[in-house]
Amino acid sequence: MATLTHDVDVSPEIRELLEKYENYLRGQRSLSDNTVRVYLTDLASFDRYINESGQDLTDMNRRMARSYLAWLATEARETRHPYSGRKQKEGYARVSIVRKLTALRSFYRFLVQQGMFKHCPVPSGRSLQVKVEKPLPSFIGKQETVRLLEAPDEDDLYGMRDRAILEVLYSCGVRLAEIEGMDLPDVNFDQRQILVEGKGSKERWVLFGQPTANVLLKYLEETRPQLLDGPTEALFLNRYGQRLSRRSIEKLVKGYAARAGLRDGVHTHTLRHTFASHMLEGDADLRVIQELLGHSSPTTTQIYTHITKQEARAAYLNFHPRAQSD
């Protein structure tokens, strides 16, 4: 199988190490192709930094880490001025810098395993005083959700398929990679549940209600046979009878959001956030939501409680007669 490292622009000096690192990420950490690609791309930034600064992998220490972060924040990216079209350099956002630091620390921990270092020389983000405010997840209201789900034309071949995709995204709260990877045997209509493969190849069952079951059955009985072109177990098919890609799913969600008159920025993960927020609004236990979302830590799920508190405050200030001063 071709390695993803070959698609990354890095110097020959580091390429061989990155190929071994890619095998480590796949074999020992069981990361998905998409996650591996992000790690490798982030390390390509570090490769550019050491080449520009005239340093070496073995020079890593606290001072070099600080210098790398400063480089990322000021001149790491080459862009074009929106008006003049001239090339210019600008820094990455703080959240991207933190992600790149995480990738760098992971890489050096791998180099420790390779015997190149006695311990990881990359300090933690906390010790380097790199802090990022996590934005609250964006979600849509219940009426907006209904408009989105009803946006596809069910009399159209692809509209029926797209309605089923939107139903599964919202009803099950699944990630983009999870819905892309769904196969026919994964769907259990008797129990109204779907087996999905989440991060780290961890499997879990997600649930769906009768409305989603009705739409899925109609898609499987009427639409999928017309799209099918050769044997495949993929649940959602493209016009060529093959598995529908993530890019296509992202594109159709964005298109139907626009058709439904929703704000810009609604994407597949918005429906996952919406699923969690609506569950919490319905007084679902946070641990149940954690299990359905496939979060390994309850801390990740707790961010949705902040959304509910924020919405409650907004509703109080808007509607309670004693909330506003005269």
- Alpha carbons 272 and 274: distance in angstroms, whole number: 5
Top pLDDT among 125 and 114 is at 114
Nearest to 174 by CA among 197, 201, 151, 149: 197
Residue in 175, 224, 243, 273 annotated catalytic: 175
Res 134: pLDDT: 57
Res 9: pLDDT: 83
Put residue 165 in one of left, alpha, beta given phi > 0 → left and psi -120 to 50 → alpha. alpha
To the query of whether residue 134 is one of the catalytic residues in this protein, the response is no
Residues in the chain, total = 326
pTM over 0.85: no
Residue in 15, 26, 199, 246 annotated catalytic: 199
- Which helix (H) or strand (E) segment holds residue 207: the answer is strand 203-207
Q: What percent of the chain has pLDDT over 90?
A: 43
Tens digit of pLDDT for each residue in 158-211?
Answer: 999 999 999 999 999 999 999 999 999 999 999 999 999 988 788 999 999 999
To the query of whether residue 175 is one of the catalytic residues in this protein, the response is yes
Res 322: pLDDT: 47
To the query of whether residue 119 is one of the catalytic residues in this protein, the response is no
Residue carrying structure tokens 């799209």 = 227
Chain-centroid distance of CA 274 in Å reads 15
Residue in 161, 272, 273, 278 annotated catalytic: 272
**In the sheet where 203-207 sits, what is the strand order?**
187-188, 193-197, 203-207
User: Residue ranges of the alpha helices (H) in 153-242?
Assistant: 157-172, 176-180, 210-218, 224-227
DSSP, residue by residue, 47-88: HHHHHHHT--GGG-SHHHHHHHHHHHHHTSEEEE-TTT--EE
Residue 286 token pair: 């946070």
Mean pLDDT of 138-157: 91
Res 20: pLDDT: 92
To the query of whether residue 278 is one of the catalytic residues in this protein, the response is no
Residue 61 token pair: 């220490």
To the query of whether residue 272 is one of the catalytic residues in this protein, the response is yes
The answer to whether the CB of 237 falls within 8 A of the CB of 227 is yes
Grade residue 96 by pLDDT with cuts at 50, 70 and 90: confident
> What average pLDDT does the structure give for the chain?
84
Tens digit of pLDDT for each residue in 39-90?
Answer: 999 999 999 999 888 888 888 988 898 888 888 888 666 555 444 445 545 6
Grade residue 137 by pLDDT with cuts at 50, 70 and 90: low
Res 295: pLDDT: 80
Res 151: pLDDT: 96
Residue in 21, 24, 170, 304 annotated catalytic: 304
Angle at 156 between CA 154 and CA 159, to 5 degrees: 60
**Main-chain dihedrals φ then ψ at residue 324, nearest 5 degrees:** -105, 140
Residue 169 token pair: 């995204």
Residue carrying structure tokens 């209600």 = 209
To the query of whether residue 269 is one of the catalytic residues in this protein, the response is yes
Residue carrying structure tokens 């620390």 = 105
Is the pLDDT confidence value at 263 over 60? yes
Res 161: pLDDT: 96
- Letter for the amino acid at 202? K
Res 309: pLDDT: 55
- Letter for the amino acid at 183? D
DSSP, residue by residue, 88-143: EEEPPPHHHHHHHHHHHHHHHHHHHHTTS-SS--SPPTTTTT---PPPPPP---HH
